Amino acid sequence: MNMRATPAALMPALHPVSLQVNTYLINLDRAPLRRFRMERLLAGFGLAYERVAAVDGAAISLPHRGFDEKSYLSRHGRRPNPFEIGCYLSHVECARRFLAGDAEFALVLEDDLDFDDDFAELLDAALRHHAHWDVLRLSTVNSGRKHRVKPLTASRALAIALTREKGSGAYVINRKAAQWIAGALLPMRLPYDLAFDLEFDDGLRACFVDPLPVSQRADACSQIQAGLSAYRLGRRRPWSVLPFRAAAEIRRFVARFSRLATWRLRISPASAERRSKRGGRGDCPPARSRPNAAPRSP
């Protein structure tokens, strides 16, 4: 549990889920208002957290050992964005801190989020079903369909998305996923949210919560998005980008559709036992078990 950066006022009202998950808040040193706002929101849920000072893109110079510029150009087709690199390395730092401790799960948050009122309760429910996911995504900036596979609460369920989903504002990972982020995802070859959406290539299972409990607000002050057009190459984009994206979409659909099909075709032992007992006699119980059944004539 994260105690070092937790305000003292939060301590008496900790939610039990804080005992199960380490929460990391990514926040730039020069963005104190964002930190204060998120601090109040997390305190309202009783969630302890540890602030992770975001890697400031303004201080990054290239070449950088954590960034593969050649692969980035061939896969993403844009000039390097130092603020995007800083965001990427900040998420990697969260995974590293998590692995340095002994917690089983980590909740990673950016600092421009809004939460639904049942956020803490939803987390608690999702952790009880942790056997079904390595990465639990709580936000997105896309609107693709989420296919429900397992109820979590009266209003939310685990779901699988078959198409690309951008945004990495809020998610939960287990230690296997953290090892992937801190290992296989380095050096950076794609923006973090795009690399993070390729978990299936390394045998990891990602689920969404549907409907999403966290919204990732569009921020006019975001330095990653500001002046984004300056990093685009237009027609000078390498030819390799389109085949890479097409192949990734196909792999994503095949991998996640296979998981979805497995869920759809799965028959619980209890359901199988009921079917076996019926033995093809239909769903109606025997006449003697129906209290209003008319007696048979001799």
Long-range contacts, 6-9 (Cβ 8 Å, 24+): 6/48, 6/49, 6/50, 7/39, 7/43, 9/43
pTM above 0.75, yes or no: yes
pLDDT tens digit string along 112-161? 999 999 999 999 999 999 999 999 999 999 999 999 999 999 999 999 99
**% of the chain at pLDDT higher than 90:** 76
pLDDT tens digit string along 151-196? 999 999 999 999 999 999 999 999 999 999 999 999 999 999 999 9
pLDDT tens digit string along 74-88? 999 999 999 999 999
Any residues with CB less than 8 A from the CB of 218 and at least 6 apart, and which?
Answer: none
